């Protein structure tokens, strides 16, 4: 009879954990929608402002969608120009994280392996941080 109680308790524990996870996933989704709504409006206005600056005086005769498109293009151009420096900084960040993870063994570990380990560790940390932020935002909205 004790084994049946243990099995029942394990089942209840599993169901409760599934409910908690389902609730967290719902809140994270709600948080993602909330952040997307806020960010999309800000981004649109930023692109319109950049597009207006790109067109100069001719901007008055352009529709908002055209201004936003020109602003998005200018932002994309800027990102492409900054990509090599950002890529190098990200690679170095991954190598440093890999060194931290390997500890004393880092000196004898290939740099690319360190970068891979660091990338996995960084992705895990960043995704957990983002998920928690989305859950918190979802809780505020709910």
pLDDT digits 0-9 by tens, 8-41: 889 999 999 999 999 999 999 999 999 999 899 9
Return the SS3 of 62. Answer: coil
Query: What is the model's pLDDT at position 1?
Result: 60
Between CA 39 and CA 77 the distance in angstroms is 20
DSSP string, 64-105: HHHHHHHHHHHHHHHHHHHHHHHHHHHHHHHHHHHHHHHGGG
Per-residue pLDDT band at 142 (split at 50, 70, 90): confident
Tell which residue, 13, 9, 12, 33, has the closest CA to residue 25.
33
Are residues 50 and 29 in contact, defined by beta-carbon separation less than 8 angstroms?
Answer: no
For the chain, the domains span: 2-40+81-141
Q: Around Cβ 17, how many Cβ atoms within 10 Å?
A: 10
Measure the CA angle with vertex 124, ends 39 and 85; round to 5°.
65
Q: Are 100 and 75 in contact (CB under 8 A)?
A: no
Task: Give dist(CA 37, CA 14) in Å, integer.
Answer: 35
pLDDT of residue 6: 85
* Tens digits of residue pLDDT in 71-117: 999 999 999 999 999 999 999 999 999 999 999 999 999 999 999 99
Average per-residue pLDDT in the chain?
93
Q: Which two tokens stand for residue 2?
A: 């004790």
pLDDT at 128 > cutoff 80? yes
pLDDT at 121 over 90: yes
């Amino acid at each position: 009879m004790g084994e049946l109680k243990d099995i029942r308790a394990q089942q209840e524990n599993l169901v409760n954990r599934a409910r908690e996870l389902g609730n967290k996933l719902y809140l994270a989704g709600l948080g993602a929608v909330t952040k997307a709504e806020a960010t999309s409006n800000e981004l649109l206005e930023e692109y319109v402002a950049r597009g207006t600056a790109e067109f100069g005086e001719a901007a008055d005769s352009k529709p908002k969608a055209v201004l936003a498109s020109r602003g998005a293009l200018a932002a994309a151009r800027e990102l492409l120009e900054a990509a090599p420096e950002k890529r190098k900084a990200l690679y170095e960040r991954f190598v440093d994280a890999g060194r931290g993870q390997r500890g004393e063994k880092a000196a004898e570990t290939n740099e690319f392996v360190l970068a891979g380990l660091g990338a996995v560790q960084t992705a895990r940390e960043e995704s957990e941080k983002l998920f928690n932020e989305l859950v918190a935002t979802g809780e505020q909205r709910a």
